[in-house]
Structure 1
Amino acid sequence: MRFRPLTAVLPLAAVLAGCSGDLSVLDPAGPSSQAIAGLWWAMLAGAVGLFTLIMMLLYIVFFAPRLVENVTPKQWIGWGGLAMPIPVLLALLAYAFVQGEKLFGAEALEPAVTVTATSRMWGWDFVYEQDGNQINSQDVLHIPVGQPVRILTTSTDVIHSFWVPRLGGKIDAIPGQTTSIVLRADVEGTFGGICAEYCGEGHSAMNFRVQAHSVENFQNTLRTLQQ
């Protein structure tokens, strides 16, 4: 049977294509999303490492049994079930704590701008404050590039969830409560946002856009919306 390079490359290309895109958490555009993507890759590396070790042991058991014929069941459990995975899991736990400190601890971003995001069936209303005035936009969130933005979320009806995959994690929008998340975009552009909590038959269309402007263009955009 002839080996066809194209046949081998196509599945790999399909997998790698899923690592980018408007709603991909593996195509980060800000520090919060970079921390989340880094944790994902670390967990993948740990899973691959453990899987490789297990496959090596399985290969030895089937094809070189003499190498392990003196290994007792207790030794299999102790070394294979505990000693082998524990270092990997502890390393992943430590890495997760480091990333969590960046997202929520003392190293968390201090917001320069605050925006209120109110969810409703099936859309989003955003409110900004400038010079003591409230400015509104629907289904498009405007933010300045390079500046942390605190998003205060709530809901007028049922529980929704605010999520911009390329900029950070998600936060539930709960009726009668206010929850918050801090995001920062490091590049100008448009990013996709979705409701990540099933909220009814219109859930699939409850999307919004995040437009990251330069600081000057952000201020000009707010002035335009105010008119």
Structure 2
Amino acid sequence: MFTFGLDHFLGHGRSLLRWGLPASTLLLLAGCEESLSAVHPAGPAAQVISQLWWVLLAGAAAIFLFVAALIALAWRRPPGETEERRFVVWLGLAFPMTVLAALLAYGLVVGERLLPRATPDLVRVQAEARQWDWRFGYDDAPGRVTENLLHIPAGRPVDVAITSVDVVHGFWVPRLAGKLDAVPGHVNLLRIEADSPGRYEGLGSEFNGAGYRDHRFTVIAHDAEGWRAFLRGETP
């Protein structure tokens, strides 16, 4: 027999059902700004991350609904008719652990697809973070430096070598790729790619001081001619 009773477990059920769904809905609505939304992907890496997000959400929803159904079922049964061991261990624990194990396996497989690998037409740029701006350099345009504007060609993979000159920052362009830290004295490599020309918002995602909220930058993805013009110095 468990040291805790099923009645104690069910005592919190009403609050869970009353506040759980509204709170979950508010959390989902909180990330609806499209320019910084990871679920509005505009590139291959972001598409993979978006799919992973939806799969994780579906798994979490399945666990929540299953546990809520168990609570509702227990409420409907007369006292003493519920076997605690079967109800809590086999149903309340086995199902969530199975779902979580499947999600972990899926996440590991998806993570492999995000690793930067050798590919034709690869572009390499440097991103240097500092309080409170970003500076970008370009292997294809030696000596060219832009501040808070990162220029890339659309439809081509871009490896961003990320570092920092002061504290730890976070490089994140939600619609193009995942987040990666900018660490002083160390270079981290992130693969990004834009499906089409356009402007994509980026931000410093690591809290590190009073200017954190305004530590943003913009990625400008050019078509082929626009990228050549940038390399020739014809684009500011």
TM-score, normalized by the shorter chain, greater than 0.5: yes
Aligned residues: 211
Counterpart contact for 2:74–2:82, Cα < 8 Å? no
State the one-letter code of the partner of 1:224.
G
State the one-letter code of the partner of 1:137.
T
Q: Which runs of 5+ in 2 are unaligned?
A: 1-24
Distance 1:184 1:109, change over 3 A: farther
TM-score by length of 1: 0.83
Answering whether residue 213 of structure 2 is matched by residue 194 of structure 1, we say: no
State the one-letter code of the partner of 1:157.
D
Q: Which runs of 5+ in 1 are unaligned?
A: 1-11
Counterpart contact for 1:19–1:27, Cα < 8 Å? no
Distance 1:177 1:15 in 2: 35
Answering whether residue 194 of structure 2 is matched by residue 185 of structure 1, we say: yes
State the one-letter code of the partner of 1:189.
G
State the one-letter code of the partner of 1:56.
A
Distance 1:191 1:36 in 2: 16
State the one-letter code of the partner of 1:49.
A
1:176 Cα deviation from its structure 2 partner: 1.6
Distance 1:193 1:155, change over 3 A: same
Partner of 2:86: 75
1:94 Cα deviation from its structure 2 partner: 2.0
Which of 144, 155, 162 in structure 2 is aligned with 1:153?
162
Counterpart contact for 2:152–2:219, Cα < 8 Å? yes
1:206 Cα deviation from its structure 2 partner: 1.1
1:70 Cα deviation from its structure 2 partner: 4.5
Distance 1:109 1:46, change over 3 A: farther
Which of 36, 47, 56 in structure 2 is aligned with 1:43?
56
Partner of 2:114: 103
Counterpart contact for 1:135–1:226, Cα < 8 Å? no
Distance 1:174 1:15, change over 3 A: closer
State the one-letter code of the partner of 2:138.
Y
CA RMSD of aligned residues (A): 2.5
